[in-house]
Chains A and B, each alone.
Chain A
Amino acid sequence: MNQQTNTEARQGKAKTTKTTFSRETSVSTTIGADPVIVWALLTHASDFPRWNSTVTSIKGEIREGETIELKSTLDEKRTFKLKIKEFVPEKRLVWGDSQGSRVYTIDKGSGNRVSFTMSEKIGGLLFPLFASYIPPFDQSFEQFAVDLKREAESIQKAKE
């Protein structure tokens, strides 16, 4: 039973796909910055709250195999313990727990441009029981993409 939303996958616009046993939200945007800068922003844990208005804090190191503790504006009372599952510099970062994974991908375009995508799929057999307690991610994802784009492009444009 699919309840797919009809949201257009426009630049910076989040798209959510729902099934009975899962929900997946994704957002994509083009960023005018070197992938090194985008990757640095995504992997320096303690610096996240400075530029990313959707993250309250991240404790720990974003490195392959490490576990981080993330607090987000989606649910400020909760601390998410997330394992870094994949860490491919300047290309792909995956973190998550037993309920789902967040995937960040960076595709280098021409010049100093990258295509950035962030997606998160949560689900499992018990998903229908707790689905109604999980807030929608769309707005938070869109804000994340806006913040990342603004910060990365601001760094890229800095005077030499």
Chain B
Amino acid sequence: MTTDQLITEFETFQGELKSFLLRMTASVQDAEDIVQDTYIKAQAKIHTFRGDSSLKTWIFSIASNLARDLLKSKKRWPETVTDICREEVLGNRQFIREAIHISQTSPQGHFEIKEHIAFCFTCVSKSLPLEQHLALLLKEVYGFKVTEIAIILNQTDAMVKYYLHVSRSRMIEVFDQRCSLINKQGICYQCTELNGIFNPKQKAQEELARIEMARDAENKSKQELFDLRMKILQELDPFESGAAELQLHHLEHNRQIMENYLEENK
């Protein structure tokens, strides 16, 4: 494969790669750095690419290794990340001022509940063990097959199946216990709470009626609700969506809080 061919193909999935890395690292800076490093590494090693897998699988393998190198020494986030960050936000007027400014001035500052569902998953899924997190995103959000994920993670198909089963089960359980959109007893209602800040109440009801996961929560199984949650992530590009700037600002805030929290709770 020539460098020109690499550039052409790389561009076709660069957006997906960047969004995958953002969801792994929760950092725009890290995601952008790893995309760049991935390209440099791919270009340097393109002569070793034999076509045993697709180029996309090969590139995601390089990127996953780089993400793993960055994240392996860092502690995983707690499942209660959104509770911890909410408490911090309430005492951070500057964050609130900035967020309102973004929502009023940026073309990518329109708060939507759907966007927050994706944002919430990005934060909560960082509580999974690293390999499980990688496998879950690759399969459920980016549509890779088990055999492709096995190549990307340098694992057996059986181990990937184990990672997928366990991580999916864990996330289903966490959201079933926490998310008030799918469980009336759920303790987290931040998406509707934030909607109340950024949008009139009516808009929340209209929006929830359009989100299948929330609208049909009582009629769907936990598995189906999780699939619908994943569908929301699949359809959203966290860098290009209508709420991108607002959500990325919020994500950076959560990342900083988590870094401090994990440092203080070593």
A residues near B, CB below 8 A? 33-37, 40-41, 44, 47, 50, 154-156, 158, 160
Given A44-B166, A47-B166, A50-B169, decide whether A156 and B146 contact each other with a Cβ distance below 8 A: no
On whether the beta carbons of B159 and A155 are closer than 8 Å, the reply is: no
Q: Write out, one digit per residue, whether chain B residues 117-158 have a CB within 8 A of any chain A CB (1) or not (0).
A: 000000000000000000000000000011100000000111
On whether the beta carbons of A37 and B169 are closer than 8 Å, the reply is: no
| Main SS at interface, chain B | helix
Q: Write out, one digit per residue, whether chain B residues 162-206 have a CB within 8 A of any chain A CB (1) or not (0).
A: 101110011001000000000000000000000000000000000
* Distance of A160 Cα from B159 Cα, bound (Å): 12
Nearest CB of A to B122, in Å = 22
On whether the beta carbons of A160 and B147 are closer than 8 Å, the reply is: yes
* Distance of A156 Cα from B146 Cα, bound (Å): 12
Nearest CB of A to B221, in Å = 15
* Distance of A154 Cα from B159 Cα, bound (Å): 13
Which of B159, B164, B166, B170 has the most A CB atoms < 10 Å from its CB? B166
Chain B, interface size: which category? Answer: 10 to 19
Given A44-B166, A50-B169, decide whether A37 and B158 contact each other with a Cβ distance below 8 A: yes
On whether the beta carbons of A40 and B162 are closer than 8 Å, the reply is: yes
On whether the beta carbons of B162 and A155 are closer than 8 Å, the reply is: yes
> Which residue of B147, B158, B173 contacts A156 across the interface (Cβ within 8 Å)?
B158
* Distance of A147 Cα from B164 Cα, bound (Å): 18
Asked whether B68 is an interface residue with its Cβ less than 8 Å from the other chain, the reply is no
